Amino acid sequence: MKMKRLAIAAAAVLLIPAGMGAQTAGGGISADMLKEISKGYAGTAADKALRNALNTTSITVLAENADNLAMIDTHFSDKVKTRGITDQKSSGRCWLFSGLNVLRARMIDKFDLGDFTFSQNYIFFYDQLEKANLFLQGVIDTRDLPFEDRKVDWLFANPIGDGGQFTGVSNLIMKYGLVPADVMPETLSANSTSAMSTQVKNLLRQDGLKLRAAGRKDDLQAMKTDMLKDVYHILALCLGVPPTEFEWTRYDSKGEFVSSKVYTPKSFYEEFIGADLENNYIMVMNDPTREYGKVYEIDYDRHVYDGQNWVYVNLPIERIKEMAIASIKDNTAMYFSCDVNKFLNRSKGVADLNNFDYDSLMGVEYTMDKRERIMTHASGSTHAMTLMAVDLDASGKPKKWMVENSWGAASGYKGHIIMTDEWFNEYMFRLVLEKKYVPADVLKMLEQKPVLLPAWDPMFLPEE
C-alpha cells in the first residue's frame, strides 16, 4: 500500500506543467545576494529613529513637509458663482454629484435661487436600473463566446457599480429628466451603497448565467424584462419609487415666493436647464501614454445600453488649461476628474506636490513622470469634482485652481480643494466642456473615427 502511494505521488509530479514546480537557478535570491541586499539598511542612528517613529505613526503623517505647512493663498482671480456644498457620503457617486453640481451652479445663477440641489437619488435609481440592463443585454450579446473570453469575464466581474463618468450624467438626464432634492431625497442605501450593490450584483450574475444557458428558441428579451422587474423591486425598496409628477414651489435667493407649479421630471429639466447634454459637450483628456490629437472610445464604458460610450479627445495639458480658463471666465463650471489622493493635505484641502516628502522619509528617490505612472498603474483618474475657479498671474498664466468637492462642507477648504498649477499638470486627467469654449481645431478632431479601447483598460475605471 505504501509503495502504491509513492507511485501515485511520483506520477502526480510528472504531470505538473513545466514552470509550475521549482524554478531554474539564477533568478532567485541566493544567500550571497541576500547578504548584499541587506546592506540597504545601515542601521544608523537616523534609521533607528525613523524606524521607531514608523512603528507608531503613519507614513503620511511623518512625510508631511514642515516647510510647506502654511495655508496656501485662498484668493482667486476668476471664480464661478456657486452656492452650497453636497456630500456623496459612503458612495461612489462622485461622477453624478459633479455633473449635477455643474448644472446646479447654472440654475442658481440664472434663476436667482437660494440653496438648491437636484435629487442625486432620482438619477441614481435610473443609473442602477440602466446599468443592470446594460449588463444583461451584454450577456445576451456575448452568449456565443466562451465563458473564459476576456469580455465575458469582464462583464461578470463588473455587473454593476455606483461609479461612472459624464456620459452617465448626460444620457440619464436627457432620458429621465431631473427633480429637486426634496422630491426624492437621499436614503441610507443611496448614501451607503455597498449592501444594496452586493444584492443586485449577485442577482445579476445569477440571471446572467440563466441567459447564457437559455435555449435558442427562448425569448431572451422577455426573460431580461422579468429579471429587470426584480432589480426594480430591490431599487424601489432601497431608494424609493421615482416620481412621475410633482409640485415644486420656487423661492428666490432672498427667500421670497416666486411660483408654484406641477412638473414632470422632463418638463422640470426643460424649463430650468434645457441644454442638449449629449451633443453640446466634449470630453478632453490629458493622457501622455497615448497620442495627442486623437479621439478614443472606451468599449462598454457607458451607463445606458442605447446611450453613448465615453469618447474623448487626448490633448496636451496646456490646451486643456486654455479651455478651462475660458469657461471659468464665462461663469461656467466644468466636470473635472483627477487622481485626488496624491499629495492631498485633506485637513487644509490643498493638493500640492510639496505637501509630503516621501523621498527624505524613506531614503529613496521617486522619479516617475506622469506617463510612467499611468503605464505602471501608479496613477489614474479616481475622483470627479466640479472645476470652478482659477487664479491667474499678471501675464494670464494659472497659479492655482479650485474645485467644488462632494465630501461635505466640513471637508478640505470649506468643502473645496485648492490645487497648485504644478499639481494640476501631474494629476489632472479629464475635463468636460461646453463646445463653445473649445477651439475649432479641437472640434475638428471629433470627425475622426475613434480608436476603440477595451473596457478593462485600467486608465478608464469608473470614478468614485
Of the candidates 135, 461, 442, 462, the residue with the CA atom closest to the CA atom of residue 304: 135
Q: Among residues of the chain, what percentage have pLDDT more than 70?
A: 93
Average of pLDDT values for 409-424?
97
d(CA 139, CA 156): 9
The helix (H) or strand (E) run that includes residue 7 is helix 2-15
Let me know if 63 is exposed, middle or buried by CB neighbors in 10 A (0-12, 13-18, 19+): middle
Cell (9 digits) for 46: 537616523
Q: What is the dihedral of CA 164, 168, 169, 174, to 10 degrees?
A: -170
User: Which domains does the chain possess?
Assistant: 78-460 (3.90.70.10)
Confidence at residue 278, expressed as pLDDT on a 0 to 100 scale? 94
- Cα atoms in the 13 Å half-sphere on the side-chain side of 368: 13
**pLDDT tens digits along 174-200:** 999 999 999 999 999 999 999 999 999
Q: Rounded to two decimals, what is the model's pTM?
A: 0.90
- C-alpha to C-alpha distances, 446 to 307, 418, 450, nearest whole angstrom: 18, 32, 8
Is the confidence at residue 123, as pLDDT, over 50?
A: yes
Confidence at residue 361, expressed as pLDDT on a 0 to 100 scale? 94
Please identify which residue in the block is written with the cell numbers 456620459. 167
d(CA 197, CA 188): 13
**pLDDT tens digits along 132-154:** 999 999 999 999 999 999 999 99
Average pLDDT value over all residues in the chain: 93
Cell (9 digits) for 213: 444557458
Instruction: Give the residue numbers annotated as catalytic, written as ranges.
Output: 94, 383, 405
- Alpha helices by DSSP H, listed for 363-439, are 370-375, 421-427
DSSP structure string for 201-259: HHHHHHHHHHHHHS-TTS-HHHHHHHHHHHHHHHHHHHH-PPPS-EEEEEEBTTS-EEE
Q: How confident is the model at residue 10 (pLDDT cuts 50, 70, 90)?
A: very low
Of the candidates 8, 177, 20, 38, the residue with the CA atom closest to the CA atom of residue 100: 177
Please identify which residue in the block is written with the cell numbers 442602477. 128
d(CA 38, CA 344): 33
The one-letter amino acid code at 14 reads: L
Please identify which residue in the block is written with the cell numbers 478608464. 460
Confidence at residue 17, expressed as pLDDT on a 0 to 100 scale? 52
Is the confidence at residue 4, as pLDDT, over 50?
A: no
- How many helices and strands, by DSSP H and E, does the chain display? 17, 14
- 374 — phi, psi (to 5°)? -65, -45
Q: Among residues of the chain, what percentage have pLDDT more than 90?
A: 88
- C-alpha to C-alpha distances, 369 to 64, 287, 289, 357, 366, nearest whole angstrom: 21, 12, 11, 16, 9
